[in-house]
A and B are shown apart, each in its own frame.
Chain A
Amino acid sequence: MLLLFLAALSITSCKDKQEDEVIVYNKNPEAQLNTDSATQTKIITEMPATFGIGRKATNAEIKAWDIDVRADGKGLPYGSGNATEGKVIFTQKCAACHGKEGEGGAYARLVGAMGDTVKAKTIGNYWPWSTTLFDYIRRTMPYNMPGSLKDDEVYSLTAYLLYRNKIIDSTKNIDAKSLPKVVMPARQYYVDDDRRGGPEVR
């Protein structure tokens, strides 16, 4: 029994030193070390830079989910559309909830040009970026079939709603190049949060 044990010990001691090493993390290494002599303890005082947990994301899985469109147009897909085609799709897929021409119904009013008497916040009087329209419609509309539209359809719907809000004219072609250049009337009113805590109410 004893012999066996000694033999085992000598075998392990022949192996690579590092395998015997116990590595622990402790912010203050002096704190509580109560080890037996045989094992070496290496105390890391800085969190390891990486833990080696997780795996590299594949291009395919990133591509499948990376649907966002940034304000500068990054992320806009290939394709195009215009208001005339958009009107047809809107009538079929959107009008039931948002009104015949986007004037509102069971759900949000989408149309109201800057300066109109419309009280509701709309694409025309409140939305600061045209790209948001494409991103949002593609992402989650129509509400009853989210994410079901083709990119060309989304371009056309975007064009239609921009046209209805008197931001572009009915013939304008909307694609990855032209959409980010459409300046929204409300953009100039946007300011960053200026509340900072402290005694002042803002």
Chain B
Amino acid sequence: MERPKEEKEYSFNDSKKINRRLLLGSVAASAVIALVKTTTGQLVPAAVPKPVSVPADPTKLQGPPPGTLGTRSPFEQLAKKTSDTSSRTPLQSLYGIITPSDLHFERHHGGVPVIDPTTYKLVIHGMVKKPMTFTLNDLKRFPSVSRIAFLECSGNFRSGKQEMTPQEICGLTSQSEWTGVMLSTLFREVGASPKATWFLAEGSDASVMTRSIPMGKGWNDAMIAYGQNGEALRPQQGYPARLFLPGWEGNTNVKWIRRIEVSDQPFMTREETSKYTENIKDGKIRQFSFDMDARSIITFPAYPVQLDKGWVEIKGLAWSGRGKILKVEVSVDAGKKWYPTTLQEPVLDKAHTRFRFLWKWNGHETEIMSRAIDETGYRQPTLQQLTDARGADMGGYHLNPITAWIIKRDGSVLFKPEKWK
């Protein structure tokens, strides 16, 4: 391809650097992103950043032809933030309420298994009239449902320093449109006993993940999901099929599900005893804390944004595992006064909901924060309220405190970490 003379080159090696450069409008030539031509003639970014041609005037050059797969703009460097055990959704970089599937957070205990959809099967047995095996095709033949709902890990809270992004603080929440068959449909098909009170859900990853779930949830709104945002589940989200329990802690939504055993008592697996339980007052340990309580976070302005004086649209996400978000309030004076915000439709049951609030920043140092109120009347607490309720030994699961951002006079925005242990 001919390179036009006045092309500019951008460095994507360091996303912070490039953002600043783009903002300043001054561009230095260095390592740049490569668009490579696939066999179908489509231009896709190469894995290693190499030069991309940016014509001085895109109206004077034919672009690449239609391709078999769309691509993200090479200027959009979205990525999950990984640790040894999880990877986090870049909440601060997203619009609307749907998380792009490739940016859905990940938490698994034995890596991502490869499962052949043609040999996949789900076995349901135990307290049932007829133990049954379903292939993926079987699951897809049943009446299907779709619903938009969030999925959040109950360990979704990090703190400790000022230089933390929304992604680092609470990026273990994501939202998809999930499609599948209601578990109640399958329970009827196998004739699940009315005497059954719990079922075990088991995955086919290397951890052979297991959780005990009350039958009530199974009959009520549990799904065996095989679709995510218009396509098959991503492997990282349980391909080809997973349990989806709207509003319940991520770990219970067993991915790569292979077996359901209907029973009359919980199984007391490791993930519902040693893990996913939390210390509360008087030396007690709280177990089977399934519901995700209401929470919100301002995703703009947030670290590492550099804020300009004047009108600011404060934006963020709010959600509750117990129902719809009723309202979100914002404070721009460190929690003294609280104002209602505008909720973006649709406001869905057990779903990420967008809130917005217009505010004119006068350049003084301040703290901004948001709190969610759900339809049960629950109001997102402060960390202090959580510690008061749960005691000094409070465990690390189900922490949903109000998150505050400090805005400095120079426009820098910093997370306000709070000590709790």
Contacts and interface: CB of A to CB of B under 8 A. Distances in A.
Contact of A57 (B125, B207, B385, B386): B125
A54 B208 contact: no
Interface string B103-144: 000000110000000000101110000111111001001110
B282 to A, nearest CB: 9
B125 A132 contact: no
Contact of B377 (A53, A54, A135, A199): A199
Given A71-B265, A197-B291, A140 B207 contact: yes
B284 A193 contact: no
A57 B388 CA distance: 51
The contact size tier of chain A is 35 or more
With most chain A CB atoms within 10 A of its CB, the pick from B185, B285, B374 is B285
A186 interface: yes
Interface stretch (B237-245, B266-274, B330-338, B341-349): B266-274
Contacts of B357: none
B123 A190 contact: no
B416 interface: no
B270 A136 contact: yes
Nearest to A194: B286
A35 interface: no
B134 A186 contact: no
A195 B289 contact: yes
Interface string A179-202: 000000010011111110111011
Contacts of B265: 70-72
Contacts of A132: 268-270, 273-274
Nearest to B373: A199
A121 B270 CA distance: 13
A104 interface: no
Contacts of B386: 201
Summarize A's interface: helix, strand, loop or mixed.
loop
Contact of B273 (A70, A129, A194): A129
B381 A201 contact: yes
Interface stretch (B47-55, B69-77, B256-264, B308-316): B256-264
Given A139-B208, A189-B285, A198 B123 contact: no
Given A51-B189, A57-B133, A139-B207, A189 B283 contact: yes
Interface string A73-103: 0000000000000000000000000000000
A128 B268 contact: yes
B315 to A, nearest CB: 26
Contacts of A135: 210, 267, 269-270
Given A71-B267, A132-B273, A199-B377, A56 B131 contact: yes
A55 B132 contact: yes
A56 B134 CA distance: 9
A47 interface: yes
Contacts of B388: 201
A2 interface: no
B138 A53 contact: yes
Interface stretch (A8-16, A59-67, A152-160, A168-176): A59-67
A199 B379 contact: yes
Contact of A197 (B110, B206, B207, B374): B374
Interface in B364-382: 374, 376-379, 381
A51 B186 CA distance: 9
B329 interface: no
Given A65-B202, A132-B270, A135-B269, A201 B208 contact: no
A104 to B, nearest CB: 14
B188 A68 contact: no
Given A50-B188, A71-B267, A194-B286, A65 B259 contact: yes
Contacts of A140: 109-110, 206-208
Given A54-B132, A136-B270, A198 B200 contact: no
A136 B267 CA distance: 12
Interface of B: 109-110, 121, 123-125, 130-135, 138, 141-143, 185, 188-189, 191, 200, 202, 206-208, 210, 258-259, 261, 263, 265-270, 273-274, 277, 280, 283-291, 293, 322-323, 374, 376-379, 381, 385-386, 388-390, 398
10 contacts: A54-B135, A54-B189, A57-B123, A62-B123, A65-B259, A66-B125, A68-B269, A70-B267, A140-B206, A202-B389
> Which 6 pairs between the two chains have the least Cβ-Cβ distance?
A197-B376, A193-B289, A136-B270, A71-B268, A57-B131, A54-B134
Given A57-B131, A62-B123, 13 more contacts: A50-B189, A53-B134, A54-B189, A55-B133, A62-B125, A62-B131, A126-B285, A132-B274, A136-B274, A139-B210, A193-B289, A195-B289, A198-B378
